[in-house]
Amino acid sequence: MSTGGNDDGNVKKSKKKETKLGMTCKKDVSFGDWYSEVIVHGEMIEYYTVSGCYILMPSAVGVWELLKGFFDGEMRRLKAQPYYFPLFVTESALQKEKDHIDGFAPEVAWVTKSGDSDLEAPIAIRPTSETIMYPYFSKWIRSYRDLPFRCYQWCNVVRWEFSDPTPFIRSREFLWQEGHSAFATREEADEEVLQVLELYRRIYEEFLAVPVIKGRKSEMEKFAGGLYTTSVEAFVPNTGRGIQAATSHCLGQNFADMFGIKFEDDRGSRSNVWQNSWGYSTRSIGVMVMTHGDDKGLVMPPRVAPLQVIVIPVLYYKDADMMAALKEACESTVHTLSQSWIRAEFDDRWKYSHWEMKGVPLRIEIGPRDLANKLVRMVRRDNGVKVDVPVANLVEEVRVLLDGIQENLFRAAKERRDACIRVIHTWDEFIAALNDKRLILAPWCDEEEVEKDVKARTKGEGELGAAKTLCTPFDQPELPDGTLCFASGKPAKTWSFWGRSY
């Protein structure tokens, strides 16, 4: 393997034939514009006429389907069964759990007409499916033998938000996976909350190469109607905002009580089940784009890249026979890689910057000298490094490089994220860190009133909005006796992450 050049005296520099526009915005200069540009030019999203709704392009659907493949396998291990529940929910079911409907009511879309006729009663489109599913749980679950009960589905949900739609990150319709389970005991429910949270960590860290923090949400930020919420939290250094990446809720027995989900134990006495619900959405794709993209476009982590390798012949005007031989070598390369389940395609239109913009992890180029020396040239999307590899080792070297890119993306993202963490102790330090767009780790008294107060006091800080808790991480630094809450001055109970968020 060498890193020497494969240009040749006889080879004319390949000419870029681009019909699409290239990237014009810089990630570090105007992040919002850059994001809008990268998702469109990288062909992840097309903006749509209905505000807050977006067209998911093949690259986005491809990532989503790859994640689904992993997750479906893990669901089988967990013995969770796939269901599909309806899109629609009646007003009375939706309103059964008061805190829950209070949390979702302002964002619910209502169908009131079909054709020219008014419906007898308006029907809601699911913002989430607790109130759709749980009336049936009460029918299906009778005895301890029906437990644990675990179901999940892939579907679209609608939350008609008015604030600041952002493709993937905050849209009115989005795709997600939602899971719902019921247990005889709190211990089992507690355990599964963390099992699923670990799957979400793996989706982010092992597939999307995005570092996340596992922790528990504050009382203010937990799921409406639930007992407690755990989450994985990502962070976007460019905007200094945290982002709730996926959540796994313990619902306790509250919904069971409202919906009458009871089981008879082996001695014949009836109790409410313990329930969880958990989900992750296409938001994950947006976090991936924000984390890895650069000024040339998207950078796709290999494990979720619908296209992992693009193979391009070096353009060789002088000799049609040689050009044909190069194309043949490229097609044979694609064939060999595809046989080994590596997702590869052949491009004979020399769209170099197009593939860079789409974030394809590895480009293989084959020129006359490569052909003569039985080599191919590989170019990494993440760092631009070029290596020449013997054709004999093709599959093995591609695998090594793809793994290396995957690891490198995660490592680099983690370094950037970690560099943003700032530990503070006082209000002044807190405000300074907030204005510095840090991910703030602060000792906190863990009181709801204090979080409300922090929110109110930071509303006016800069143009970026109020601060809130992101999570109380499971991985707690030592909290020496006598440590005080940065905001209230009372004794601190935890270290918690604070910041602005999406």
CA distances in angstroms from 300 to 282, 288, 362, listed in the order given:
15, 8, 10
Q: Would you say 115 or 460 has its CB closer to its own copies?
A: 115
> Is position 115 an interface residue for its own copies (rule: CB under 8 A)?
yes
- The whole-angstrom separation of Cα 226 and Cα 219 is 10
> Is position 103 an interface residue for its own copies (rule: CB under 8 A)?
no
Q: Would you say 171 or 291 has its CB closer to its own copies?
A: 171
Contact (Cβ atoms closer than 8 angstroms) between residue 127 and residue 138? no
Encode burial over 447-474: b for 16+ CB neighbours within 10 A, e otherwise. Answer: beebbeebeeebeeeeeeeebbbbbbbe
> Is position 67 an interface residue for its own copies (rule: CB under 8 A)?
no
> Is position 88 an interface residue for its own copies (rule: CB under 8 A)?
yes
103 sits in which H/E element: helix 98-104
Residue numbers 45-64 binding its own copies by CB under 8 A: 46, 48-50, 53-58, 60-62, 64
> Is position 110 an interface residue for its own copies (rule: CB under 8 A)?
yes
The site for its own copies, by CB under 8 A, has a size of 55
DSSP state of 204: I
Contact (Cβ atoms closer than 8 angstroms) between residue 137 and residue 129? no
Shortest Cβ distance from residue 134 to its own copies (Å)?
12
- Interface residue with its own copies, options 4, 5, 73, 122 (CB under 8 A): 122
- The whole-angstrom separation of Cα 60 and Cα 57 is 5
> Is position 311 an interface residue for its own copies (rule: CB under 8 A)?
no
> Is position 83 an interface residue for its own copies (rule: CB under 8 A)?
yes
Q: Would you say 117 or 269 has its CB closer to its own copies?
A: 117
- The whole-angstrom separation of Cα 142 and Cα 133 is 15
Residue numbers 169-228 binding its own copies by CB under 8 A: 172-173, 175
Residue type, 16: K
- The whole-angstrom separation of Cα 410 and Cα 501 is 21
Shortest Cβ distance from residue 49 to its own copies (Å)?
6
Contact (Cβ atoms closer than 8 angstroms) between residue 236 and residue 470? no
Q: Would you say 155 or 385 has its CB closer to its own copies?
A: 155
CA 174 distance to own-chain centroid = 12
> Is position 109 an interface residue for its own copies (rule: CB under 8 A)?
yes
- Interface residue with its own copies, options 2, 10, 24, 156 (CB under 8 A): 156
DSSP state of 220: T
Nearest to 129 by CA among 106, 165, 100, 149: 100
- Interface residue with its own copies, options 3, 114, 163, 269 (CB under 8 A): 114
> Is position 309 an interface residue for its own copies (rule: CB under 8 A)?
no
- The whole-angstrom separation of Cα 26 and Cα 294 is 8
Q: Would you say 65 or 396 has its CB closer to its own copies?
A: 65
Q: Would you say 50 or 372 has its CB closer to its own copies?
A: 50
> Is position 112 an interface residue for its own copies (rule: CB under 8 A)?
yes
> Is position 418 an interface residue for its own copies (rule: CB under 8 A)?
no
- Interface residue with its own copies, options 31, 160, 228, 427 (CB under 8 A): 160
- Interface residue with its own copies, options 14, 30, 90, 254 (CB under 8 A): 90
Shortest Cβ distance from residue 406 to its own copies (Å)?
23
Per DSSP (E only), the strands in 269-423 are: 270-272, 274-281, 309-313, 344-346, 362-366, 375-380, 386-390, 421-423
Shortest Cβ distance from residue 372 to its own copies (Å)?
32
**Site of interaction with its own copies (CB under 8 A):** 19, 46, 48-50, 53-58, 60-62, 64-65, 81-90, 93, 105-116, 122-123, 125, 135-136, 139, 142, 151, 153, 155-156, 158, 160, 172-173, 175
